[in-house]
Amino acid sequence: MDIIAHYGGVDRMKLLPVKREHICHVWDRVEPQVTSALDLGMMTDTPEFDAEYVHKKLLEGVWELLVAIDDRGDIHGSAVLSYTDYPSARVAHVVSMAGRHICTPELLIQFKNILTSSEVTRIQGYDRPSMVRLLKRLGFYPRYTLMELVL
């Protein structure tokens, strides 16, 4: 089965970056998605940050928000990114990704186009096992295993 057909009309979805000055206009619609992603993704009793911290970083312009919208302008998904520059690579770190149909081949093409226009050379993220399985189907591969000891 064609994955786009399976999602029913998702090929009309657009992934758009939200300018810092427009964060306040979409935050009330995006915040539940960010909270949900962080709740699912932070597999610890003491998460490193919450949606309020994400909002602060977005307003400061340190992190970037992308939204997946349909033809009517309704938001169906969101992604929050941070960036790290290395000598040989510019990496977009996915801080949060949530919503309906946010991980489709069509939106991945748009995602890559947005990031390459910002000279990003790699996309990375820490993910729970179910997201790892989904991202593998889209061409991602495991690079590191995160190990942690709480002090």
Say if residues 84 and 91 touch (Cβ distance below 8 Å).
yes
Task: State residue 82's pLDDT score.
Answer: 95
Other CB atoms within 10 A of residue 28 CB: 8
pLDDT digit string (tens) for 33-60?
Answer: 998 888 776 555 556 788 999 999 999 9
Q: Please report how the helices 51-60 and 23-41 are oriented relative to each other, as an axis angle in degrees rounded to 10.
A: 140
Torsion-angle region of 119 (φ positive above 0: left; ψ -120 to 50: alpha; else: beta): left
- d(Cα 19, Cα 73) in Å, to the nearest integer? 16
Pairing of strands 122-124, 89-99: parallel
Task: Average the pLDDT over 114-121 and give the result.
Answer: 96
**Cα 7 to Cα 1, 14, 45, 77, distances in angstroms:** 10, 14, 34, 14
Strand partners for 75: 69
Pairing of strands 89-99, 14-18: unpaired
Task: State residue 8's pLDDT score.
Answer: 45
Task: Average the pLDDT over 63-77 and give the result.
Answer: 93
pLDDT digit string (tens) for 55-65?
Answer: 999 999 999 99
Sign of CA dihedral 43, 101, 134, 83: negative
Q: How confident is the model at residue 1 (pLDDT cuts 50, 70, 90)?
A: very low
Provide the whole-model pTM. 0.82
Task: Average the pLDDT over 74-95 and give the result.
Answer: 94
